[in-house]
Amino acid sequence: MGEGREQNEAFVTLATNDTYALGCLVLGSSLRRVGTTRQLAVMVTSGVSQSMRQQLGGLFNQVVEVNVLDSSDTCNLELLGRPDLSVTFTKFHCWRLTQYQKCVFMDADTLVVQNVDELFDREELSAAPDAGWPDCFNSGVFVYVPSEQTYRNLLSFAVTGGSFDGGDQGLLNLYFNKWATEDIGKHLPFTFNVVSQAFYSYLPAFKQFYDNIKVVHFIGAVKPWHHAYNTASRTVTQLPGTGHSQQFLQMWWNIFMDSVQPNLDPQLYESSVVSQNLSCSGIAGDLANMSLERSGEDGAMRDDRERKLQWEQGQADYMGVDRFDNIKARLDEKIAQPTPSGSGKAPEDQPPPPSE
Ligand code: UDP
Ligand code: GLC
Ligand code: MN
């Protein structure tokens, strides 16, 4: 392979907040572990903190700031059950990375378990079938060719054609609407984007093809970072009813604990509370403050994480723990606390207090 391809081809991912950035860090580490020869690029929006950007910069060759594109298609997103996915139009910015000749986009909730550099031999738009509707492709992993023109086309298509699921997948499937019929070469094997829960719908196939699995995708509202991790036994305990594969969930956590968690900034927790950005940096902040000396994840911390998951899903307990006076009391308490010395943060780096 010529050296050119190593410089001109890239894996690209996206985070609009610190929580998804955790996923990007595990994904990037998993790509490094399987010895990819290609570039790694991550797109971030203003919701990603400075310290998280720094950590991403240590792993990815490029951290690219993009602005949020929001479909605001609440109707179709309700149908999909994921009101949080309106920001996934931000993914379209990946077509603007024209410094590369070819790219593979990967969701922040994917995990690479075997080298997938061969994907760069495929053409735009190559993707694997969606497990829910196999005549559509899943947009968590796709091969594409950066082009400003395609980016503009996608945006005008968004205005005229829209998206049938309110997210990027519903739009990309309408735009690349020949995918299902035109060229079988653009159908990636399912092993390049195995939905973590699919094992349970076809267990014999999972056993048969297990060794071929290259990419696992933790699709759905519950992500690996939402599950409870026991720091004493170093094992993950699934939240009930989520149906993720235990092996792959454990693999995600092993990478997280080995390569990501030790470098997380403990200050993330403070900034998430002070900036009132509980649904953004909250989980990342909690995980930054995990300690292996503890005898396991305590109940209070897990309850807090489960509450944050509900918050992310728009189910804040406004009448109970999340009621305004509770939030305000917590903010007041955090603002009143002096900045810990030796944090390396100048006072002017602190996020502004919330306005009353
Ligand atoms: N994403 C993000 N912030 C969000 C939601 C989504 O950065 O609040 C990005 C992230 O890269 C994520 C992708 O968009 O992996 C698609 O969302 P998700 O993986 O949650 O969708 P699913 O695969 O579960 O349908
Ligand atoms: C899908 C894809 C995800 C996409 C979402 C919204 O479930 O896995 O990548 O963002 O749909 O269209
Ligand atoms: Mn995903």
**Domain assignment of residue 183, yes or no:** yes
Q: What is the number of residues in the chain?
A: 356
pLDDT of residue 330: 58
Residues 205 and 307 in one domain: no
Residues 26 and 147 in one domain: yes
Domain boundary among 212, 242, 261: 212
pTM of the model: 0.83
**Domain assignment of residue 20, yes or no:** yes
**Domain assignment of residue 224, yes or no:** no
Report the separation in Å between the CA atom of 223 and the middle of ligand 3, taken as the mean of its atom positions. 9
Q: Which atom of ligand 2 is nearest to the CA of 167?
A: 12
Residues 204 and 279 in one domain: no
Residues 121 and 206 in one domain: yes
Q: Which atom of ligand 2 is nearest to the CA of 219?
A: 8
**Domain assignment of residue 124, yes or no:** yes
Residues 309 and 195 in one domain: no
Task: Measure the CA angle with vertex 103, ends 255 and 190; round to 5°.
Answer: 65
| Domain tally, the chain | 2
Report the separation in Å between the CA atom of 23 and the middle of ligand 1, taken as the mean of its atom positions. 10
> For residue 244, what pLDDT band results from cuts at 50, 70 and 90?
confident
Domain boundary among 212, 228, 254: 212
Q: Among the bound ligands, name the one nearest to the CA of residue 130.
A: 2
Pocket-forming residues, ligand 1, beta carbon under 6 Å: 13-17, 20, 84-85, 87-88, 107-109, 140, 219-220
- pLDDT tens for 51-109 read 999 999 999 999 999 998 887 777 776 777 777 777 889 999 999 999 999 999 999 99
Residue from 91, 106, 110, 138 to probe ligand 2 pocket by mutation (most atoms less than 8 Å from CB): 138
Q: Which helix (H) or strand (E) is 153 found in, with range?
A: helix 148-160
**Domain assignment of residue 15, yes or no:** yes
> For residue 307, what pLDDT band results from cuts at 50, 70 and 90?
low
Nearest-angstrom CA–CA distance, 104 and 116 = 10
Report the separation in Å between the CA atom of 7 and the middle of ligand 3, taken as the mean of its atom positions. 26
Find the CATH number of the domain harbouring 113: 3.90.550.10
Residues 201 and 313 in one domain: no
Residues 206 and 284 in one domain: no
Name residue, tokens 């945006």: 155
For the Cβ of 194 lying below 6 angstroms from any atom of ligand 2, the answer is: no
What is the overall mean pLDDT for the chain?
A: 83
For the Cβ of 170 lying below 6 angstroms from any atom of ligand 2, the answer is: yes
Residues 31 and 150 in one domain: yes
The parent domain of residue 187 ranges over 3-212
For residues 189-198, one letter each, b for 16 or more C-beta atoms within 10 angstroms of the residue's C-beta and e for the rest, the string is ebbbbbbbbb
For the Cβ of 87 lying below 6 angstroms from any atom of ligand 2, the answer is: no
Residues 36 and 181 in one domain: yes
- pLDDT tens for 36-50 read 999 999 999 999 999
Residues 124 and 49 in one domain: yes
Residues 292 and 160 in one domain: no
Residues 82 and 152 in one domain: yes
Residue from 168, 171, 173, 195 to probe ligand 2 pocket by mutation (most atoms less than 8 Å from CB): 168
- pLDDT tens for 107-132 read 999 999 999 999 999 999 999 999 99
pLDDT of residue 351: 35
Nearest-angstrom CA–CA distance, 57 and 84 = 26
> For residue 271, what pLDDT band results from cuts at 50, 70 and 90?
low
**Phi–psi pair at 91, nearest 5 degrees:** -50, -35
